[in-house]
Amino acid sequence: MKVVKFGGSSLATGEQFDKVVNIIAADPERQVIVTSAPGKRSQGDAKVTDLLIHYAQQIQQHQDATTTAVQITARYQEISAFFDLPPETMVLISHKLGALATTPFADADHLMAAFKAHGELLNAILLAAVLTHQGIPAKFMDPKDAGFLVGGEPNNADVLPATYLNLSHVSLTGPRIIFPGFFGYSPSGDIYTFTRGGSDITGAILSRGFKADLYENFTDVDAIYTVDPRIVAHPAVISKMSYREMRELSYAGFSVFQDEAIIPAVQGQVPVNVKNTNNPTAPGTLIVPEQFLFNPANPITGIACSARFSALYLHRYLLNKEVGFTLKLLEIFQRYGISYEHMPSGIDDLTIIFDQSKLDAPTINALCHEIRQTLKPDYLEWIDDYAIIMVVGEGIAHTVDTMGRVIDSLTQHDIAIQMINQGASRISIMIGTQRKDAAAAVRHIYDTFFVKSEV
Ligand code: ASP
């Protein structure tokens, strides 16, 4: 049995729905289908989720929301008209959208979550109707009826462990199950949504809960590429990768999934297949547990690069002999509520790397001031100009020359390496460079491992 999730661009128009219907019909194993809300139809178009957020804000501020409600209804209407559906489904969808405006909610956060969730909820109702109309028996399943329970905050939910037990009791025989992504219910019965892009999480949770053989995630790219196509034109695709390779790559900028979105699938040991709705026969990228993978032909699976980092460099003579230095430093971070990303260290030196999107200038100044006062380093420097390149591959752990080849490819082109660290996982090499060098560094590493190895 497969759980299949379709992203917003795959469910944005009648034409796209038609492709989705064909994909579902082509494989009887595709038993559980997870919907996103209709996404953008073209550049500049609005996603239904964004329209719903606007709708929620207007209702909260007691503004006239008629135009927004009409715009949202029109998105579903367009798809319904494409298939010439009998009117009941659109009557139901319009009714549910209208009813939202007059439903009382505990507070603004609960209201926002419920409005947002309707993008996927209404799309699941619509897809079930379209499939049935096309002769493929399908039924909408409300997450409430499946016991899909979440905790956390209304707009930042976490799945509750009871969900998995509840899902194991759901009968999967009979019509295909169409399940809305992105949200669940709190134990008190309120709608809570995951973070944006959270339909992927729903698919992963259902894969684990239903013990699926495969989680197919349909999006609008043929596969995950070995490197960002904006840096290297027409890069090689990754046909197979391990979960932890995926996680290390998405950490440093790969953006097909939020890496955390597939954690439930990892926990359930369910392989994930990223595929393209617009080219469904392409094999896509298969993401599997580590033990299924080793490709000795190329130790590297992918190269990612991110400029979202800053570093704090500290130098203090005899740092290695000083007991408690790092502890005091970490206590300062804790007081400021700051988490660090990496901390490579030497005899007298320590570099701490931060995700700069989580820091602002006043915090950085206060932090540096306190470190100077408390720890009295001989030298302290805040480095804003920092990029991190992650060279990732299960094969790294099994080869002896990969690190050397990576370094050679950079030194041959006069690219200065500010930091290099073979990751604790043993499947990644992390390189810090100046931002201006990052794209060229990625290209040279790519050429070394992917172009030269093919000749
Ligand atoms: N529709 C939601 C969003 O736009 C969730 C998703 O598409 O996965 O964030």
Q: What is the per-residue pLDDT across 210-236, written as a single tens digit (0 to 9) for each?
A: 999 999 999 988 999 999 999 999 999
Report the distance separating Cα 36 and Cα 32, nearest Å: 14
Report the distance separating Cα 144 and Cα 185, nearest Å: 6
Q: What are phi and psi of 370, to 5 degrees?
A: -65, -40
How far, in Å, is the centroid of ligand 1 from the Cα of 184? 14
Among 11, 120, 194, name the best residue to mutate to test ligand 1's pocket (greatest count of ligand atoms within 8 A of Cβ).
120
**198 C-beta closer than 6 A to ligand 1:** yes
Q: Which residue has the higher pLDDT, 96 or 385?
A: 96
Range(s) within the chain of domains with CATH label 3.40.1160.10: 2-221+256-290
How far, in Å, is the centroid of ligand 1 from the Cα of 195? 8
| pLDDT tens digits, one per residue of 307-345 | 888 899 999 998 778 888 899 999 999 999 998 888 888
Please classify residue 154 by burial: count the beta carbons closer than 10 Å to its beta carbon, then call 0-12 exposed, 13-18 middle and 19+ buried: buried
> Residue 273 corresponds to which tokens in the numbers above?
């297949």
Considering the domain delimited by 2-221+256-290, tell me its CATH architecture.
3-Layer(aba) Sandwich (3.40)
| pLDDT tens digits, one per residue of 125-169 | 999 999 999 999 999 999 999 999 999 999 999 999 999 999 999
What would the mean pLDDT of 375-399 be, rounded to a whole number? 90
Among 49, 116, 156, 219, name the best residue to mutate to test ligand 1's pocket (greatest count of ligand atoms within 8 A of Cβ).
49
Q: Which atom of ligand 1 is nearest to the CA of 197?
A: 8
Range(s) within the chain of domains with CATH label 3.30.2130.10: 302-454
Count of alpha carbons within 13 angstroms of residue 32, beta-carbon side? 30
Q: What percent of the chain has pLDDT over 90?
A: 75
Among 6, 11, 16, 47, name the best residue to mutate to test ligand 1's pocket (greatest count of ligand atoms within 8 A of Cβ).
47
Strands (E), 327-436: 349-355, 379-392, 419-422, 428-433
| pLDDT tens digits, one per residue of 259-318 | 778 899 999 999 999 999 999 999 999 999 876 666 667 889 999 998 888 899 999 998
Give nearest CA residue, ligand 1 atom 5: 197
> Which residue pairs from 158-164 have beta carbons closer than 8 angstroms and sit at least 24 positions apart in sequence?
159/184, 159/201, 159/205, 159/264, 160/187, 163/205, 163/209, 164/205, 164/208, 164/209
**36 C-beta closer than 6 A to ligand 1:** yes
What is the homologous superfamily of the domain 302-454 according to CATH?
VC0802-like (3.30.2130.10)
Q: What percent of the chain has pLDDT over 70?
A: 96
How far, in Å, is the centroid of ligand 1 from the Cα of 170? 25
Q: What are phi and psi of 240, to 5 degrees?
A: -145, 140
> Residue 142 corresponds to which tokens in the numbers above?
């409300």
Give nearest CA residue, ligand 1 atom 1: 37
